[in-house]
Amino acid sequence: MGLNLLGSLYLFGEFVGSRENPTALPNFSLKDPIAIEAEIECILNRLTLEEKIDLCHAQSKFSSMGVPRLGIPELWMSDGPHGVRAEFEWDSWNKANWTNDEITAFPALTCLASTFNPELSWAYGFALGEEARYRDKDVLLGPGVNIYRTPLNGRNFEYMGEDPYLASRMVVPYIQGVQKNGVAACVKHFALNNQEYWRNKVNVELSDRALHEIYLPAFKAAVQEGGVWTLMGAYNKVRGQYACHNEFLLMDILKEKWGFDGVVISDWNATHDTKEAALYGLDIEMGTGTNGMDVSKLDHYDYYFLAKPFLEAIENGAIDEAFLDDKVRRILRLNFRTAMNPYKPLGRKNNPEHHAVALQVAEEGIVLLKNESNFFPIKDQAGVTIAIIGENATRPMTIGGGSSGLKAEFEISPLEGIREYYQSAKIVHALGYESGPSDYNQVMAPSSNRSKLLEEAIEVARDADYVLFVGGLNKSRNQDCEGGDRLSYGLPFNQEAIINELYEVNPNIGVLLVSGNAVALPWLDKVKGLIQTWYLGSMTGQAIANIVGGSANPSGKLPFTFPKKLTDNGAHYFGEHSYPGVDFEQNYEEGILVGYRWHDTMGIDAEFAFGHGLSYTDFSIEGIVVNSVQYHLDDDIRIALSISNTGKMAGSEVVQVYVGKPNSKVHRAKKELKGFKKVDLRPSETKQITIDIPVSDLNYYDPNRANWHLERGMYHLFVGTASDQILKKIKIMIK
């Protein structure tokens, strides 16, 4: 198994010991991977068996032990994927109530994915890494790349959508940006943690092709292209064995086939057995005795599965010490990359640069779904009244959601942002509905004050020139939240009825949808405009106001499909054996046909397709050509085209290239995303662009070979601006 150090070594200079014990370890050049490995062996030989064991499990809620005798520091970890979580007490889930742990809240990862902008993903990761470095964190527990399989999954907002290629291209720069700060990214949750319901018990069964073609590619890219330093296991079982000590996933695939040289960290309380944890790839055990968020038993860290029980198993000969040594080598390697790196930067937080990154991601990620009669943008004009209706116009969204909840220094609400933006127009507001407090443990019910709130909303909307309903989901239990899935596909808290009532008194209505998931839209024909706004973090209100008012042009594209009804989704089409499972057993019956692959192949129209997103300007794409009509295995397919902005406003378009194999000898999707490029254009500007696709990317996973295989013959290239907006189909041959 080869080393994977080169991507990080430019961060390091020469290690000179610790402040407490500056002569504990000899000097050596960290620029030399061979020297690093030699030093790891030197340290390993000086550790006692008990000290080795101490490195492999938690000592507090968010840290693992070091070895003070040798100047090896503790490792400190923190959630989460879109901001550094507030500090907790040492051994409880009570907030520490520090006064300096407020941070910038960045948009959730569904928003980042919808930018289709890998360069912006790097900026996001770098800014987030700076904030983690400022807080002296060694491991940032993110990003998440579990595939969006069902719109009911409470944790989809933390992930990067339904397409493995998009998630792969977006996760790599994120990781590289974080780790440039000497902070380890921790890609999660490996693997198949695609629902929160029964997440601690469900056993996932699926085909080898679905596993390798859909659910593993983003993790593989994180390891082999991103050089990620840590990885978190999942709660669920995979093929009968818990994912945090799963021989097939962690040993056969991750560490042997992919050559991962980093550390596998358990999810909190996801470890279940000493022998399996010792033998099957877990390196650091965290959170045993807690559900990972709020409830905590009395924790005895010495009695974790990888603590005294592990020590005793080695001492009595039941487990070979070599398994422990492999874990320690990995942990020491992580330490050299993070805590023991004397040249890591100091970090920064809550600065204008981070706010600017958060704002840009939010603006580029917001998706304009519908814009009848150019309802948006709404210009700031004297004499115009805009009615803002809905709880989500004022509800804080950086808190809640489970482990990704944040303590932001500030959060500009949609209503605040709109009021600040519109200096001439009159802004009026009514709550419309009320869900209750932001409480992870509470399942929200519609307000008992429903009638009064609706009457107030109708009164405000009746005489307005424009009505903006700000609704959707929130980050409480059974919404977009860890620990439970949504209970239905429709909007909660009577919102559908409210939209219908508002339409009756004022049909000039648009909706700002706040969510990390698709929702049912039976009211779509009653609204003139629809914008998907996601959870946008600190800069929420400013980003939304800039898009609504036209200072920014929407360029986001959906990273997942909006089905018309829940049973149009592949996971739900096959019934409860497919989702959520029966007796904790679940089979992914739809196989490789996830998201738009299912809709396209089965001929099921979506409400909004993957890759869909409108603009305030117009684009023309012409001259689409390829560099050849015949290719071999080592070739690149190059698609060249001309794209012009034919409208009156600067904007960005995402050109998308899908590939399909008609008459394949194996079951395939009609088409799969294999390339994209986001292009910024001023009015009347034209650019020539190319998109390269390696022929090897057309492989499918052959379970008979247990390897990837390229099928020869004719393929179709589909070039367009969404999975259902194809401008040209081109035939090519693979020789």
For the chain, the helix, strand and coil percentages under 3-state DSSP, each to the nearest 5: 30, 25, 50
With contact defined as beta carbons under 8 Å apart, do 541 and 415 qualify? yes
Distance between terminal CA atoms of the chain?
Answer: 33
With contact defined as beta carbons under 8 Å apart, do 131 and 105 qualify? no
> Residues in the chain, how many?
735
Q: Half-sphere exposure of 717 toward its Cβ, with a 13 Å CA cutoff?
A: 30
Q: Kindly tell me the burial class for residue 652, based on how many C-beta atoms sit within 10 Å of its own C-beta (0-12, 13-18, 19 or more).
A: buried
With contact defined as beta carbons under 8 Å apart, do 324 and 57 qualify? no
**Residues 148, 18: Cα–Cα separation, whole Å:** 44
What are the structure tokens assigned to 148, written together? 């969006």
Cα angle 419-421-423, degrees, rounded to a multiple of 5? 80
**Residues 277, 284: Cα–Cα separation, whole Å:** 9
What are the structure tokens assigned to 629, written together? 């009509």
Nearest to 151 by CA among 528, 524, 687, 608: 608
With contact defined as beta carbons under 8 Å apart, do 598 and 570 qualify? yes
Residue 369: C-alpha distances to residues 232, 387, 460 (Å): 34, 21, 26
**Residues 192, 594: Cα–Cα separation, whole Å:** 13
Rounded to the nearest 10 degrees, the angle between the axes of helix 33-46 and helix 321-337 is: 130
**Residues 559, 612: Cα–Cα separation, whole Å:** 8
DSSP code for 106? P
With contact defined as beta carbons under 8 Å apart, do 363 and 552 qualify? yes
Among residues 138, 163, 267, 480, the one annotated as catalytic is 267
Residue 114: C-alpha distances to residues 80, 673, 677, 722 (Å): 19, 14, 13, 12
With contact defined as beta carbons under 8 Å apart, do 112 and 174 qualify? yes
With contact defined as beta carbons under 8 Å apart, do 402 and 396 qualify? no
Residue 147: C-alpha distances to residues 68, 387, 592 (Å): 41, 37, 12
DSSP assignments along 51-113, one per residue: HHHHTTBEEETTEE--BGGGTBPPEEEE--TTSPPPPB-TTSSSB---SS--BPPPPPHHHHH
CA 354 to centroid of chain Cα atoms: 19
Q: Using H for helix, E for strand and C for coil, what is the string for 159-207? A: CCCCCHHHHHHHHHHHHHHHHCCCCEEEEEEECCCCCCCCCCCCEEECC
Q: Kindly tell me the burial class for residue 706, based on how many C-beta atoms sit within 10 Å of its own C-beta (0-12, 13-18, 19 or more).
A: exposed
DSSP code for 589? T
Give φ, ψ of 186 to 5 degrees: -130, 95
* List of residues 6+ apart from 425 with CB closer than 8 A: 378, 380, 381, 382, 383, 384, 385, 386
Map residue 650 onto helix, strand or coil: coil
Phi/psi-derived region of residue 347, left when phi > 0, alpha when psi is between -120 and 50, beta in every other case: left
CA 232 to centroid of chain Cα atoms: 14
- The owner of tokens 């009570």 is 94
Residue 267 bears catalytic tag: yes
Q: Using H for helix, E for strand and C for coil, what is the string for 117-130? A: CHHHHHHHHHHHHH
Phi/psi-derived region of residue 623, left when phi > 0, alpha when psi is between -120 and 50, beta in every other case: left
Residues tagged active-site: 267
